[in-house]
Structure 1
Amino acid sequence: MADSFKLVEAWRGDLPESLHRGHVVIADESGLRACWGDTDAVIYPRSSCKMIQALPLIESGAASSAGLTSEQLALSCASHNGAQIHTKRVEAWLKGLGLSETDLRCGPQQPDAVEDRLALHDAGQSPCQLHNNCSGKHAGFLTLNAHLHGHADYIEIDHPVQIAIKQAFEEMTGETSPGHGIDGCSAPNFACTMAGLARAASAMARPDTLGKARGNAARSLVCAMMAHPLLVSGEGRACAELMVAAKGRAAIKTGAEGVFLAILPDMGVGVAIKIEDGATRASEAAMAAVLVHLGVIAADDPAVQARLYKPLPSRRGLRAGGLRPHPGFAAALGL
Structure 2
Amino acid sequence: MKAEVLVYRGPWVENRHRVSLAVYGEEGLVACAGNPAMVSYLRSSAKPFQALALFLTGAVERFALGEEEIALATASHDGTPRHVGVAARFLGKLGLGPERLVCGVHPPFSKEAREALQRAGERPTPLHHNCSGKHAGMLAAALALGASPEGYERPEHPVQELNRKALQDLSGAEPLQATDGCGVPTFALPLARAARAFYLLARPDQAPKPYEEPLRRVGEAMRRHPHLVAGPGSIDTLLMERLPLLAKRGAEGYHGLALLDSPRGPLGVALKVEDGSTQAREVAVVALLRALGLEPGPTPWDRPEVQNHRGLAVGHLEARLALSWI
TM over 0.5: yes
Per the alignment, residue 175 of structure 1 pairs with: 173
C-alpha distance in structure 2 between counterparts of 1:258 and 1:58, whole Å: 29
Alignment gaps of 5+ in structure 2: none
2:4 is the counterpart of 1:7: yes
C-alpha distance in structure 2 between counterparts of 1:275 and 1:198, whole Å: 15
Query: SS state of the match for residue 83, structure 2?
Result: helix
Per the alignment, residue 310 of structure 1 pairs with: 304
Alignment gaps of 5+ in structure 1: none
CA shift, 1:332, in A, is 4.2
- The 5-angstrom pairing of residues 149-228 of structure 1 reads 149-151=146-148, 152-177=150-175, 179-228=176-225
C-alpha distance in structure 1 between counterparts of 2:302 and 2:41, whole Å: 24
Judged with a 3 Å threshold, the aligned counterparts in structure 2 of structure 1 residues 317 and 124 are, in CA distance, closer, same or farther, namely: closer
Cα contact 1:286–1:308 (8 A) shared by 2: no
Judged with a 3 Å threshold, the aligned counterparts in structure 2 of structure 1 residues 241 and 162 are, in CA distance, closer, same or farther, namely: same
Query: SS state of the match for residue 22, structure 1?
Result: strand
Per the alignment, residue 251 of structure 1 pairs with: 246
Q: Which amino acid aligns with 2:77?
A: H
Query: SS state of the match for residue 301, structure 2?
Result: helix
- TM-score, reference length from structure 1: 0.92
- TM-score, reference length from structure 2: 0.94
CA RMSD of aligned residues (A): 1.7
C-alpha distance in structure 2 between counterparts of 1:138 and 1:122, whole Å: 28
CA shift, 1:156, in A, is 0.6
- Please, which moves more after superposition, 50-59 or 72-81? 50-59
Cα contact 2:59–2:141 (8 A) shared by 1: yes
Q: Deviations 1:9-30 (Å, cap 9, x if unpaired)? A: 0112111111000211100111
Query: SS state of the match for residue 302, structure 1?
Result: coil
CA shift, 1:264, in A, is 1.1
In structure 1, which of residues 296, 302, 327 is the aligned counterpart of residue 294 of structure 2? 296
CA shift, 1:79, in A, is 0.2
C-alpha distance in structure 2 between counterparts of 1:110 and 1:307, whole Å: 24
- Please, which moves more after superposition, 307-316 or 84-93? 307-316
C-alpha distance in structure 1 between counterparts of 2:131 and 2:144, whole Å: 20
Q: Which amino acid aligns with 1:260?
A: H
Per the alignment, residue 322 of structure 1 pairs with: 316
Q: Which amino acid aligns with 1:198?
A: A
C-alpha distance in structure 2 between counterparts of 1:242 and 1:315, whole Å: 29
2:32 is the counterpart of 1:35: yes
Per the alignment, residue 116 of structure 1 pairs with: 113
Cα contact 1:284–1:308 (8 A) shared by 2: no
- Please, which moves more after superposition, 135-144 or 288-297? 288-297
Per the alignment, residue 144 of structure 1 pairs with: 141
Judged with a 3 Å threshold, the aligned counterparts in structure 2 of structure 1 residues 195 and 333 are, in CA distance, closer, same or farther, namely: closer
CA shift, 1:333, in A, is 8.6
Q: Which amino acid aligns with 2:253?
A: G
Q: Which amino acid aligns with 2:303?
A: Y
In structure 2, which of residues 271, 274, 281 is the aligned counterpart of residue 273 of structure 1? 271
C-alpha distance in structure 1 between counterparts of 2:19 and 2:162, whole Å: 31
C-alpha distance in structure 1 between counterparts of 2:165 and 2:153, whole Å: 15
CA shift, 1:259, in A, is 0.1
| Deviation beyond 3 Å, 4+ runs, structure 1 | 331-334
C-alpha distance in structure 2 between counterparts of 1:332 and 1:61, whole Å: 41
- Please, which moves more after superposition, 111-120 or 16-25? 111-120
2:280 is the counterpart of 1:282: yes
CA shift, 1:319, in A, is 2.2
